[in-house]
Structure 1
Amino acid sequence: MGIAVSDLAVARGGIKVLEGVCFALEPGQALVLRGPNGIGKTTLLRTVAGLQPPVSGRVEMAVDNHVYAGHADGLKATLSVEENLSFWAHVFGNKDVSDALSAFQLTSLADRPAGALSAGQKRRLGLARLLVTGRPLWLLDEPTVSLDSDAVAMFAEVIRAHLSRGGAALMATHIDLGIKEASTLDLAPFRAKAPEPDDFDGVFL
């Protein structure tokens, strides 16, 4: 099962930012969320991931089938690249990290402390965690931040491989990854109406 979102409204700081959002994502599909900064892409992803409650609407997906990757890479600086991946693999009940190291060209850096990596290498390591989770649905917030063009192409290939295995991906990104399987959802039509100046209660909903 993928994910189905119906009539979803989300809020940031107590203010509704998006409403009426609807989409469905099946295995093998990817959806890219588009919109200007501040429109609510991160808030929507966090709500879908269950990290904050919706204002209204429904998110339907199987329990424990998704993994969320936000702006932070989620790394322990004193652990090596391989140790960081092994930790996350263990959390999700897995052991082998060799495919994740290879997919993001981290094999030669396996013994290097994460704190000694460049920003782009840290991002690649953070994204490599996706491959050790075993989860089919990836929720990704600006996953290509700090990546150069070669690393972006590397990431796009990982997404294609994930989709070919029946996985799915919901991504907020401004980068055109060139993935033909990916559809686009413009969030502008779902921007919530601002509360009226005299709607004192509405401001705090």
Structure 2
Amino acid sequence: MPGRLRHFSSCVFAIVAVSLAMTVTWAASERWEFDRIIGRVERQYGDLEAVRLRLLAWESLLRDSAGLDERQQLRAVNNFFNLQLRFGDDQTLWRQADYWATPVEALRIGAADCEDYAIAKYLSLRQLGVPSSKLRITYVKAVRLNQPHMVLTYYERPDAMPLVLDNLVGGILPASQRSDLVPVYAFNGEGLWLPGARGDKQVGDSKRLSRWQDLLKKMHAEGFPAGSGF
């Protein structure tokens, strides 16, 4: 997220105060039909072999990871997107200051900003059946880079130390070993949290996040089923 540090202090207020967006719901339990999804991509952008191969690799990841335990699924999904996608900032990739790409958009161009990595990992793990209560897309300040950043965090139990899935670090580490990250807010398909001395405090739901709702609408247009909540 280079170039956006000047907006950092106002991000929490802007996210919490954003007006209620149209509700878009999602069914993580419905099987994704990749033939349909790939067909829509090819009709819109042409029959590009590299894009098809990346999308088929994503389908294979989900199929092959379905029988693994959650820790193994975390590693498989984290490694897949960290290896498949090169980093690029939103201005370079999308000619916008802040753009949340769907996993299909990121895989189509083979590149992603930090929030795109976190979103793709979150949606993939939800499709594999990991409960949303265990997953949060977490907006942080990357201290060493002195800039905003986004990661995915996994809570094995509500009171557990979260594990951090990050495109900057290959391995999955507990948050206690990521002193370079300072949490600002977190969200998933059900809620919005702010950090506090006594633990994170839920302050709303993700329906207040207009960019998240827009992203789910884009996925529905790409051929993903709409349903009952990601």
What is the TM-score of this pair, normalised by structure 1? 0.31
Bigger CA radius of gyration: 1
More strand as a share of residues: 1
Greater length-normalized contact order (CA 8 Å, ≥ 6 residues apart):
1
More helix as a share of residues: 2
What is the TM-score of this pair, normalised by structure 2? 0.29
